[in-house]
Structures are given as C-alpha cells and as structure tokens.
Amino acid sequence: MARENTFSCSSDLTESSASSNGRESDDVETELYSRSTASQSPGKQRRLPPESEWTTVMLKNLPDCFTRARLVYLLSKEGFAGAFDFLYVPLCFKEKLSLCYAFINFVNIEAAERFWKRFHGFQEWGVPCRQVGEVCWCERHQGLSSIIQYYRNNSVMHPDVPDECKPILLIADQRAPFPPPTKKIKLPKKAKADGNEAARSGSQRIAPLMVITVSW
C-alpha cells in the first residue's frame, strides 16, 4: 500500500488536551504525547523509527460518552480484535466522560493503515452524535516500547487513579499487566482535588459507598 497518510499530530493537536466540549485533560502529560517533535530543538528530539514502521495513531472526535471499554468493543466489532496492543482513552476524572480522543498502537503497520482507512471519516459510533472520526500519526511516541516507557511513570498510572481512566496493554486481545514504574508516581492534582471533595461530601454518610470498577 502506498504511504499517503503522512500528516501527523503536530502543533494543532496540542490543543487536544482540551476536548471539543471544553473539558480539560486531568493528566497534563497527555499533551506531551501528541506534540510534534518539530517543536523541539534538534538536540532534544527523540529518535523515532522510520515512518514506514509507524504503528501508533491518535483517533480524534470520539463521542464524549465513549469510555475505554466502549472503544475496545467498537474496535472488535469493526474487525480489529487482536490487532492493537495499547489503548488509552483520556477521561475527565470527575465526570468520567471522554475528552473525545484516544491513542492506539497496532501490532503492525498493516493493521494501523487498515484502521486509518476505516476510521478516518468514521461516523458509525452506535450513539446519536455528529462526530466525524479523524486519524493522525503520533510523532512524540511511536511504537509499543516508547509508549510503555512514557506511561509506566506517568501520573495517570497512580494507584489512586480509577482504572477506567488508565491506558491498557493487550496481548492476543487479552489485557496484560502494565510494567511497574521505575520511579515514584505522583497523584495527578486534579484527581487529588476531586478525591478531597468526595471525602468532604461523604463525611456525613453512615457508611462508605461501594465502588465497582469494570476491568476493561
């Protein structure tokens, strides 16, 4: 297949740290993932694999109701089960709503290009909305190894961050454990603030609420 899909996540995508509905990202480091290396000085640019080997994409314009589990289901429904090994749908911690974009790494370039052809211009979300999918390559971090090195120490991996707000790894379409961090992870400020607010609002209750988390 001719490599025509060459535009990538550059300066315009740094604005994706705020979704189309105005919600801001709780994890400010998410912005770094999609920022173009062109904005860095040559000495600080990361060494990327050749474009012919790129497998990591950003999917923009998701419906705001799309969680990680919902996107996994859609990808499987569209024939991509087992074709990706990393997926991250940034959510607003407080509202548990999507920031309307996701990062996905595919197991090979053929799967990535097949995804591009299907989801660039995609509208069959299964929910009432007018969102039109937009796909671009990610420059800042390309490939599973680079992604793991970045996210294993990212604040979004803090134990107190709800599981549904975290990225996941998959092997043969089954969730796999994320490698442990190599340094102490700080709790995102937004998550900490929301947790304190929840604690204050629940201080008058007789018993704590049970929190049920879906593993996908």
95-126: pLDDT as tens digits: 778 899 999 999 999 999 999 999 999 999 99
Q: What's the confidence (pLDDT) of residue 47? A: 56
Calculate the alpha carbon distances from 171 to 81, 85, 155, 178 in Å: 10, 6, 24, 11
Q: What is the mean pLDDT of the chain?
A: 76
Among 4-13, 83-92, 160-169, 200-209, name the one with the lowest average pLDDT: 200-209
Closest of 81, 33, 82 to residue 57, by C-alpha: 33
Q: Provide the token pair at 164.
A: 């549904």
* DSSP helix/strand/coil, 207: coil
Query: pTM here?
Result: 0.72
- Evaluate the CA torsion angle 87, 92, 98, 100 in order and state its sign: negative
**Residues 139 and 10: beta-carbon distance below 8 Å:** yes
CA–CA gap between residue 173 and residue 74 (Å, rounded): 13
Q: 11-201, what's its fold?
A: Alpha-Beta Plaits (3.30.70)
